[in-house]
Structures are given as C-alpha cells and as structure tokens.
C-alpha cells in the first residue's frame, strides 16, 4: 500500500518534468516565402494571399509558402499608406506590439486593417518630436471581433455566455 501511494505521488512529477522539457525547446523549422528565408515573427501576412504551402519534414523541417500573384511583402518604410513616409521619427506599434527594429518587419499592405497616427504634440509635457504609427492588422481585428462574440453586458458587468 505504501509503495503504491509513493508511486502515485511520484509519477505525476515525472510527467510534469518531461512536459516542460519537450515544450521548452524552440523549433528550428525554416520558413521560406517565395524562396526567401524569413522569420515568421516579423511577417504580417493575410491567409487569403497564400497560394500554396509545402512542408518538407527532413532535418529540422522547412515550410515553403508561395504567395498569390501581385502580392508582395513590403518593409514598413516601403508602405505608402496615408502618407506615412512624410513623417519623421516614426515609432511603429503593430497589433499592440512595439516594433524595436522596423527595418526587419515585412507586411502585406492588404493586411492593414486600421492605421492611426499619433503625433507627439498630442502628449502633454512632450519636448521631443515623434509620431506613433499604430497598425492593427485585419487578422487581429477579426480575432478581437470573435473574442467579443458570446459576451453579454449587464449594468457594466461582463458575463460570458457559453453556446
């Protein structure tokens, strides 16, 4: 009885420790968009603009993504959207994430759902001159809209309703 109890107490510890080991390792999968290697954390692309996806499982694995014709990924400086190229000292925020290296980011211009420009003059006690360019992608707008579904507001209290 004691042995069984000890085994039952120790067994979950092994399972938990193994689970952490498996999920802590970062995947070394290579992503290639139109034959160019990319970091997917720095790509904003609409699913509807993907023509084909091919997965190769050899080695660490490779995922080849082919874009539809007339679709290209642009850096933030290449985007000519609401004359943002005329603004100096730009700070980019995409989907509520501050972009520290905007030159590394590539975005599909059709994926821009909302763009807001906030000038430093709008901030109180601000001495420097800069502009915040806040971009919300269509994917993020759709995710926010889906998150709002199924919620009921009663006198300012948020309740979740299960379907």
Q: How do residues 24-48 score in pLDDT, each as one tens digit?
A: 456 688 999 988 899 988 999 888 8
Please report the pLDDT score of residue 31 as a whole number. Answer: 92
Query: pLDDT grade, residue 63 (50/70/90)?
Result: very high
Q: How does pLDDT run across 82-141, given as a tens digit for each residue?
A: 666 666 788 899 999 999 998 899 998 888 888 888 888 888 877 778 888 899 999 898
Contact status, residue 132 vs residue 118, Cβ threshold 8 Å: yes
* Residues forming a β-bridge with 157: 154
pLDDT at 162 over 70: no
Q: In terms of pTM, does the model score above 0.75?
A: no
Q: Average pLDDT, stretch 9-16?
A: 66
Task: Classify residue 26 by its DSSP letter.
Answer: P
Please say if the pLDDT value at position 160 is more than 60.
no
Model pLDDT, residue 52: 92
Give the Cα separation of 46 and 27 in Å (integer): 23
DSSP conformation class of 68:
P
Tell me which residue of 108, 109, 136 sits closest to 34, measured CA to CA: 108
Q: Are strands 112-119 and 131-137 parallel, antiparallel or unpaired?
A: antiparallel
Q: Rg of the chain's alpha carbons, rounded to an integer?
A: 23
Amino acid 24: pLDDT: 46
pLDDT for the residue 23: 46
Q: Which residues pair with 78 in a beta bridge?
A: none
């Amino acid at each position: 009885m004691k042995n069984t109890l000890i085994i039952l107490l120790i067994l979950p510890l092994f399972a938990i420790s193994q689970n952490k080991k498996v999920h802590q390792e970062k995947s070394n999968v290579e992503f290639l968009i139109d034959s160019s290697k990319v970091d997917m954390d720095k790509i904003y692309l609409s699913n509807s603009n993907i023509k084909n996806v091919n997965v190769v499982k050899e080695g660490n694995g490779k995922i080849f993504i082919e874009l539809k014709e007339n679709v290209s990924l642009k850096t933030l400086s290449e985007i000519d959207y609401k004359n943002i190229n005329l603004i100096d000292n730009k700070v980019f925020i995409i989907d509520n994430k501050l972009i520290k290296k905007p030159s590394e980011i590539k975005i599909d211009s059709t994926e821009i759902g909302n763009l807001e420009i906030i000038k430093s003059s709008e901030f109180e006690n601000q001495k420097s001159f800069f502009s915040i360019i806040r971009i919300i992608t269509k994917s993020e707008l759709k995710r926010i809209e889906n998150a709002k579904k199924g919620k009921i507001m009663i006198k300012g209290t948020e309740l979740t309703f299960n379907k």
